[in-house]
Amino acid sequence: MWEASPQLNDRGYRTGIVHLTVGEMGSGGTPEVRRQELLAAANALRLDHVEVLDFQDCRVTDDFPGRLKIAAVMRRLRPTLVLPPY
């Protein structure tokens, strides 16, 4: 029988997610629908922190202003582990 492994927050870690975009170009939804989906997922995952930055969907670029936004989040949250999408 498969047994679920303990969640990281069960082990004393703080967990969270930072979305770079609202997902306004996603099919079948609006930015508000995307935010509600994110909050529902965060609740199911028992995350301690949820944040959405203001990059435009499909327009996240590697430039100085973008780096500053992400660096500010990293400095504020000081994560031990970062799992990017790719």
pLDDT in tens, 29-49: 788 888 899 999 999 989 999
**How far is residue 36 from each of residues 9, 29, 45, measured CA to CA in Å?**
22, 10, 14
**Within a domain: residue 3?**
no
- How far apart CA 14 and CA 48 sit, in angstroms, is 6
Q: Which two three-digit tokens encode residue 85?
A: 């999408």
Query: Domains in the chain: how many in total?
Result: 1
**Within a domain: residue 5?**
no
Give me the domain span that covers residue 59: 13-77
**Within a domain: residue 55?**
yes
pLDDT band at 28 (very low <50, low <70, confident <90, very high): confident
**Within a domain: residue 1?**
no
Q: Partners of 52 in the beta sheet?
A: 19
Q: What are phi and psi of 13, to 5 degrees?
A: -85, 150
**Within a domain: residue 26?**
yes
pLDDT band at 69 (very low <50, low <70, confident <90, very high): very high
**Within a domain: residue 60?**
yes
**Within a domain: residue 34?**
yes
40: left (phi over 0), alpha (psi -120 to 50) or beta: alpha
Residue-level pLDDT at 29? 76
DSSP 24-51: TTSTT--HHHHHHHHHHHHHHHT-SEEE
pTM: 0.79
pLDDT at 79 over 50: yes
